Chain A
Amino acid sequence: MTLSLVLQAIFAGVTNGIVYAFVGMGLSAIFKGSRVINAMQGEFAVIGAMTTVLLLTKSGWPYPAAIAGGVLAGALVGAFIEVAFVRYMAKKNASEDSFLLLTIGLALTLSASILFFIGRDGHLLPPIGGEGVLLVLDAVIQFHALWLIAIGIGATLLLRAFCHRTTVGLSMMAASIDADGAATTGINVGRMRTYTFILGGLLGALGGILVTPLISVDYTLGLNLTLKGFAAAVLGGLTNPLGAAVGGITLGLVESLAIIGISSSYKDVVAFSVLIIIMILMPNGILGRAGRRGG
């Protein structure tokens, strides 16, 4: 096992980790704001990426505008889902499990819709910073991956600032921590939940767009991303978007080191076993502290 191989594994792990982190961050933002586990978070990524691809190739929009369009599409779908389904179910005091099933149903529907209306093709977007790569000790990392890491860190910090510094962010936090208390101080809890879904959709779509230069996106990608996003979010403690970022990178590294350390075919087995073990032994996630409640 050479140094460059290990380095390459670390590069790949971090790059994948950022992908998982984006999905995980959206998941945990939605969970934090609404106590809903969103099984269609990966689908947000696919929607964002597909919209951007279509705007870029079919409508001929410039790349930045197409990205903005894709992000907007994710946010709109997020808002729609909250207004059309979640709000009604919350009014009826639906159980946590039924929200999980709702989003599973929506994920199946969206994936089938993309196949039916857009087609089975895999799509790619042009990388930011060109197709170039950075060579370190014979190990390669793409410029786009570096951009992805930079944007990922930026997005995490922005999200944190949004939650702690802005009125809307603070209201969302308050509504999620103590809905009744927040309502008495005049916060519209329902609207905050809508914002939460918009935020989740936005993060998901942005993540999807950013990874599309690395991973070709098609109708089957959503479930895969959701699974890994779940794992990232749970590793990080689920109620902490920053934790999801750390969880995602940990997961990515565990996977790629498992490939060089154990065997390539046991990657998923190792990753999901680590997930189960961490859930049982460290119920608050690897960042600890932040209280994590089960059911």
Chain B
Amino acid sequence: MPANAILALKEVGHSFGGLAVLRSVTFDVPEGGIIGLIGPNGSGKTTLFNIVSGYIRPLAGAITYQGAPLVRESIQRRGTAGLVRTFQTPQVFEQMTVLENIMVGCTKLTRTTMLQDLLRTPAARGQMREIRQRAEAACERFQLGNLRDLPAASLTAGQRRILEIARAVVGEPRLLLLDEPSSGLNAQEIENLREWIVRLNEQGITVLLVSHDMGLMTVARTVHTLYFGEIIASGDMAAIQRDPRVREVYLGV
């Protein structure tokens, strides 16, 4: 394992009801990199993603995050350690406003006890102020300022995607897991998204990206191709696109 890997998967395997969906997947995510994961439907991408983010516990293999074993950690602990994901269909808090959505993303940066919250102690108020300030700043940064008081339910798919990313980023992640971030977006929105990914990466956030979208995937420095639970090819996008096996099974050529 290279010393600079923030996340390392070693021989990770999983099956549902006897049907193997992942077999011995091994790869590293270097600190500060953008790593892509492609594969046809049913290749195990989403399962892998759920395993890394903690929604599924793998049946085999080991995962280390920042050098420590990850498999037994709860979803929340992964989050506080800086490992944050988005969802294939954006999961915004529909009945909350855009600003409030982002504020939820900040909550993990502060600590209050329930008693402090009940009594609205100065500490609790101060933290709330801080959360709000951070969220407002993020709102501006992600150009959501004019939407900030609208309920999230009223946003378009593209706006939801940006909101979801803003909400994840505001919690200062170290590794951002993006699950099909371009689905449901138009060409312009995808272009914006691409810019965002690059910009966030420049700010020091490592990105693990799962996508069908070959155009978007070109932001990744290394791309792994998953097919029936196995990695069949790795390399930069250009190399992947030249790989005959990938062309055969995935690009359908």
Touching chains A and B, CB distance < 8 Å: no
Binding site for B on A (CB under 8 A): none
